Amino acid sequence: MKQSNVEVNVHHITRVEGHGNIYVNIENGKVEKCEWNIPEAPRFFEAMVVGRSWSELHHITSRICGICSIGHSLASLKATESALGIPISEQDLKLRKLALHAENLQSHILHLGFLVLPDLLGVGSVIPLATTNLNEVKMVLQLHRTANEMSNLICGRTTHPQRLIPGGFSKIPSMKELTLLRKKLQDSIPNLQAVAELFSSLAGKLPNFKRETEYIALSDPSEYAFYDGKLASSDTGSAPVKEYLSFTNEYIVPHSTAKWAKHVRESYMVGALARLNINYKRLSPMAQKTAEKFNLLPMNYNPFMNNIAQLVEVVHSVEDSIRLINELEAAGLQTQPDYNKPDIKVKAGTGVGAVEVPRGILFHDYTYNEKGICTKANCIIPTNQNHGNIQQDMNALVPQIAEKTQKEIELALEMLVRAYDPCISCSTHVTKIK
Amino acid sequence: MKPKVAFFDFAGCEGDQLQVANLEENLLDLLGQVEVVSFREVMKEHSDNYDIAFVEGSCTRLQDEDRLKQIRKNAKLVVAIGSCAAIGGINSLKNYKDLDQVKKTVYGEHAALFDSYSARPIDAIIPVDAYVYGCPIDREDFLQVVKSLLLGKKPETPTYPVCVECKKNENVCAFERGQFCVGPVTRAGCNSCCVNEGTICWGCRGLIDNPNENSQKEVLIKNGLTVDDAIGKFRLYFGWQEAKR
């Protein structure tokens, strides 16, 4: 092997949400330093919500992240509803599951089409692809637009949803609108298959890297879990969601900048690949077929395959949304009053809400006093749970590619970080140690 | 030659830049009119040579001021996009708390390691030429502002409150439904979108230039609400603007 000196210094990695830096130093072929760190400005949401009313928390915490605002709203609502003992109807449950599918579609398609595809096609962004690969770009845009329209229809808006409120919805779509959405979802399947073909033809560009780790996701016997389920680990089995702190164990890293998480190993991974590894059997039929096409079967230990797991989930979300709309139709959609405001009795309490958002499992945990004012809040975001795993992957990957050129190493590490689809502005608490 | 544009972000959720990415087919049209030279969220390339800078997010740290000033120096026009950049937004909720306590709540014993000061809009640091309000910004609104700027005009911003649009949309007033709404003092331009969706106006576009406080007080009294109720609601988005008044 060539005894090389290489320095990789990616200040503010591009095509990810938020700010992250990669620093690698290789001297005489030996990895001297390999760091993933986060210089994002902290925003202090957990302190900002203290003193605010139960009726506002979902609105405020939605602003933690523009991309996963539906997921934050839902985790927040679940925590509030659990603390205050607020029930929601079967119909609203189905509509909320549609809301999560809509966000999953929006986010995964944006990530795959706008952020990952340029790496696979060897360009710096999607912009030149609008000239060289217009057909592909148009397919991605069509799928993305359908996902956005779905978010609009269920939530009122694509980002920072308005209709999701404690106890249900302030407004719901009509059956006619849902039927139209179902048609659009069905019509998007050929495009989806074409995009899957495109990724299949490019999948060889994803590094063939493997590192065993622990995967954590929600899991439910009745469906591929997004909205609800038990906490499940690929190492230790399942536990109730309220025991989440014994899974996340946040800790501080002396050399770097983030509050990270670990369970039984050095680190664990959350997100599409974790969900697929744990809940593969409950993927929709077409999604399983897509996974087989890429030979993506559990347990898969290649973090770069998180991209493909997202693609598989896109197929699942489309198919499962069609199923949910069929069920809503079969049950007969119940109408509700305009400006619906469920009758809620306020009491003191503590509640934890967990949902699977595009990047993995998200926890909101609130305590309310007897007036329904928040006295304590904790939010644990998927990307923070993944930071430790990204670092461990880098530690394992860099020595394997140390003889490559500076540019190749840089690209491989950027692709690794992008595969996790990190959502850094989401990080409600980031720790910086000097 | 096409004008060069760049996007930058400070403390915020990047939801406003996402609205730009969400323009879908309109994005292709927009790309026909401008050249994007920096947009970290979606592109690897970066250049400091740009005509229009779109800035999202509040300034919450001393160390970010230099970056803002540099952007101002490089750009002919600076546009604040979204509530955090335009009015301080939801980030300014923390301005009403003891900052040391805020840091301790989130970071415990490591609190001292964090720089953070009161969250503020970017025009507290640098002059701003145009604003796109909202949390998040409205895509159409963004396109209108861009069109005006490309034509060399000053973008028009409503100076009347959300109530005007809400009445036109024939919504039942939130106060009559027993809810508190800050629509009477919030800048319009959103077509009262949140009330249309069955909820209230939360105030994300900020205070109008001359809010009719007497009328707001009348509404409060008529509905049995107190000034404290109002202050609490105002602080959700108006924190920085109120403190300045």
Say if the Cβ atoms of A341 and B93 lie within 8 Å: no
pLDDT grade for A84, boundaries at 50, 70 and 90: very high
ipTM for the complex shown: 0.94
CA distances from B177 to A415, A428, B117, B156, B195 (A): 51, 34, 38, 32, 11
Say if the Cβ atoms of B15 and A163 lie within 8 Å: no
Average pLDDT of chain A, as a whole number: 92
Across the A/B interface, how many CB contacts are shorter than 8 Å? Answer: 179
Say if the Cβ atoms of A48 and B90 lie within 8 Å: yes
**Could you say which residues from 162 to 181 on chain A have a Cβ atom under 8 Å away from some Cβ of chain B?**
162-163, 165, 169-171
Closest CA to A419 of A318, A314, A310, A292: A310
Tell whether B133 lies on the interface with A, counting CB pairs under 8 A.
Answer: no
pLDDT grade for A253, boundaries at 50, 70 and 90: low
Say if the Cβ atoms of B193 and A157 lie within 8 Å: yes
- The per-residue pLDDT for range A193-223, each reduced to its tens digit, is 999 999 999 999 999 999 999 999 999 999 9
Tell whether B120 lies on the interface with A, counting CB pairs under 8 A.
Answer: no
Contact A152, A145 (CB under 8 A): no
Contacts of A338 in chain B (CB under 8 A): 172, 198
For residue A434, pLDDT over 50 is answered with: no
**pTM as predicted:** 0.95
Provide the residue ranges of all domains of chain A, joining segments of one domain with +: 45-419
Contacts of B142 in chain A (CB under 8 A): none
Distance (Å, rounded) from C-alpha B161 to C-alpha B191?
A: 10
Say if the Cβ atoms of A41 and B116 lie within 8 Å: yes
Contacts of B15 in chain A (CB under 8 A): 63, 65-67, 69, 159-160
- CATH 3.40.50.700 in chain B, residue ranges: 4-150
What per-residue confidence (pLDDT) applies to B41? 82
**Check whether domain A45-419 has CATH 3.40.50.10470, yes or no:** no
Contacts of B7 in chain A (CB under 8 A): none
DSSP string across B25-64: HHHHHHHHH-EEEEETTTBS---S--SEEEEESBB-SHHH
pLDDT grade for B114, boundaries at 50, 70 and 90: low
The lowest-confidence range among A64-68, A169-173, B164-168 is: A64-68
Q: Residue A222 in 3-state DSSP?
A: coil
Say if the Cβ atoms of A47 and B13 lie within 8 Å: no
pLDDT grade for A254, boundaries at 50, 70 and 90: low
Please count the residues of chain A. Answer: 434
Q: Domain B4-150 is of which CATH architecture?
A: 3-Layer(aba) Sandwich (3.40)
For residue A236, pLDDT over 90 is answered with: yes
Closest CA to B106 of A54, A427, A434, A257: A427
- Mean pLDDT over A115-122 rounds to 92
Give the pairing type, strands B35-39 and B4-9: parallel
- The per-residue pLDDT for range B134-147, each reduced to its tens digit, is 999 999 999 999 99
pLDDT grade for B97, boundaries at 50, 70 and 90: confident
A431 closest CB neighbour out of B41, B110, B194: B110
Say if the Cβ atoms of A63 and B107 lie within 8 Å: no
- The per-residue pLDDT for range B7-38, each reduced to its tens digit, is 999 999 999 999 998 887 788 888 889 999 99
Distance (Å, rounded) from C-alpha A97 to C-alpha A322?
A: 12
Percent of chain B past pLDDT 70, that is, above it, reads 98
The lowest-confidence range among A102-106, A121-125, A423-427, B154-158 is: A423-427
Distance (Å, rounded) from C-alpha B211 to C-alpha B245?
A: 11
pLDDT grade for A10, boundaries at 50, 70 and 90: confident
For residue B56, pLDDT over 80 is answered with: yes
